[in-house]
Structures are given as structure tokens and as C-alpha cells.
A and B are shown apart, each in its own frame.
Chain A
Amino acid sequence: MSFATTIVENALRVALEHSAKKVYGITVVLGELLLINPDQLEFCYKVATKGTILENSRIHIEIAKADIKCINCGKAYDVAIPLCELCGGFVVVNGGKEMILKKIEMELDENQDRISSTDKTGGGLNA
């Protein structure tokens, strides 16, 4: 639930910064190692958005795979294990823990000027 609340708080902040009347959908990227159950997150999102301009919006979830490989021989793995089964080298895990609010689809107040910039990381507008 706390993940859902964080997503909703940030999506609301961005939507209100753009004077949005309604949000139709958001896209989040979740690292696979966060072990978040997408079904459960969708449910919690539905609960957390009630009474806000995000109510009834869709949440699209993209799972980001972790990059897990042996630093010695480069063998890649799907799960985080400590030592390479091939050469015994250390297996390093990169990524897989991110939680990114990627996109927000919303309806703007028609009386607002067209927006030229969006967020602090400099993302663009796709109308």
C-alpha cells in the first residue's frame, strides 16, 4: 500500500502542476527485485486514488529486469546468486530495484496555455 500511496502522491503532484482536470492512466516501471505483486499494486492503486483526479485511471506496470552477471566470465543469470556456477567468480546485481513514474496521461484544463516543459528530469510532452 505504501508503494501505491507514493505513486499516487507523485502522480497527483505532477498532474496538479500541469493543472490537469483528470488523469486517465499512468505508467510505472518497477524493478523485478522489488518483488511487488502487480495485481496487488493495481488493487492498492485503485484504493489510493479514490476521491482524487486519478480515480478510475489505469495503471500500466512495466517490470524492469535486473542485470545479474558474473564479473569474471560475464555469464548472465535470472536470479541473484552470490557465486558464478561456471567459474566461481562474484555475481553482481545491477538495477532491478527501481520504481519510476514514467508517464501520465491526463486531460488538461482547456483554459491553460500549452505546456512547454514538464518535470525536473526534463521529460517531454507527447500530445
Chain B
Amino acid sequence: MHKVEIDAEIDLLEENKRLANENRKYLRENMIKAVNIMGAIGSGKTLLIEKTIDALKGEIKIGVILGDVICKADYTRVIKYDVKVEPINTGKECHLDAHLIHHCITSFDDVDLILIENVGNLVCPVDFDLGEDYRVVMVSVTEGDDVVEKHPEIFRLADVIIINKISLANAVEADVDKMESDAKKINPKALILKTDLKNNIGFEDWTKFIRKILEK
């Protein structure tokens, strides 16, 4: 029996980094901005995408990548807005990765902006760079007002933090000020928005952000 121990020293995340950089290169060469929208299940990610398309479709060409366990319901919602949508059924995988994005990104060539809806999860997506320009993290008051302090890493790396469904705060006894203050403590640089998307509260601040990033 010839037993050996080898020093492998293999970076297991290198492949994702490599593909994320390829995605990033493609986006830059085609002057497309990409926004990775992460957040809790039911926080309002799909509604954010629908409203963004509806509000800006006259001025910005938008494409959408939807990641979910089974994408059909979200796909049916978004395709009604007559934009290019690529659905990715992630099955038991709890996050999108650069490899999945790499498969479909080159099918977007005539858009200004790609909105990527990540799988509803505040843990796993944070470690997988997709090649995006901006990271958005959404939560809603219905997840409890300690949801931000319980998941510091995903909020630490966000460019925009959206606290949604604020009109329900009293009904679910959630302290929105605490959520905002937790987010500021973890990430003082992030843009923090408080919204109720169903009732159009705070949505203009989001469209202002989108217009601004497309000016760059």
C-alpha cells in the first residue's frame, strides 16, 4: 500500500471568481449595469423589479434574470412587461452563482440595465460574486425587526438596503427605526431606503438611485 499526503492548496472559490470577472468584463464591454437584488423570501424583490420596469421602461432598456427554486410564478409576473427575462431554476441550490449567470448573460446585448433577482436567502448569496455592479439587499418588517442584526454579513456588503412593507410595521410590532439603525451601524456607507412598494411609498428614491447609476 502506497499512502501519500499531497499539498493541494486549491482555491475552491476560484472558479466562481473567474466567471464573475468574465461576466463583469462582458457587462463593461457592452455598457450594461447589473444590479444583484438579494433579500429574504417574500421581501418584495419581484415587485421591485416589476415597478422598476413599469416606471422606467420609456427611458431605460431593462433585462431581467430571475433566480428561484422554481421560477415559473415570478417569470409569469415579469414577462408581462415585455422585457427580456431569463429564468434560472436553482432547485435545491440556495443562491445564484457566477456560473449560472455566465450561461445566460450574453443573451443580453441591447439593454442598459440587468436586474438580477437572487434566491430568497439572507445567508448564502453573499459569498457568490455574480459580476454585478451593485448589490441590493431587501428585507421587510414582517421578518421581524431583528432580521438585520441577525444577518450582518449580507448587509455589510450591500450598496443599497431596502426596508419594505413599512406600513405593516405596527401590525407586526416591528420597529423600523431599529432596523434602519442596525443597518446604519453595520454599513454606514449603504443607501438605506424605507418603502412600501405596494403603496408607492419610498419608490421614487429607488428610481432616483437607478437613474444615477446609469449616468456613470
- List A residues at the B interface (Cβ < 8 Å): 1-2, 6-7, 10-11, 14, 18, 24, 28, 33-35, 80-83, 97-110, 115, 118-121, 123-127
Contact = CB atoms under 8 A, between A and B. Distances in A.
A71 to B, nearest CB: 14
A38 to B, nearest CB: 16
Contacts of A105: 3-5
A126 to B, nearest CB: 5
Interface residues of B, number: 28
A121 B1 contact: no
A28 B123 CA distance: 21
A100 B14 CA distance: 9
Contacts, number: 106
Interface stretch (B19-27, B73-81, B134-142, B181-189): B181-189
A83 B10 contact: no
B8 A103 contact: yes
B61 interface: no
Nearest to A3: B12
A33 B131 CA distance: 20
Contacts of B123: 35
A82 B95 CA distance: 26
B7 A103 contact: yes
Contacts of A80: 152-153, 156
B12 A126 contact: no
A121 to B, nearest CB: 5
B9 interface: yes
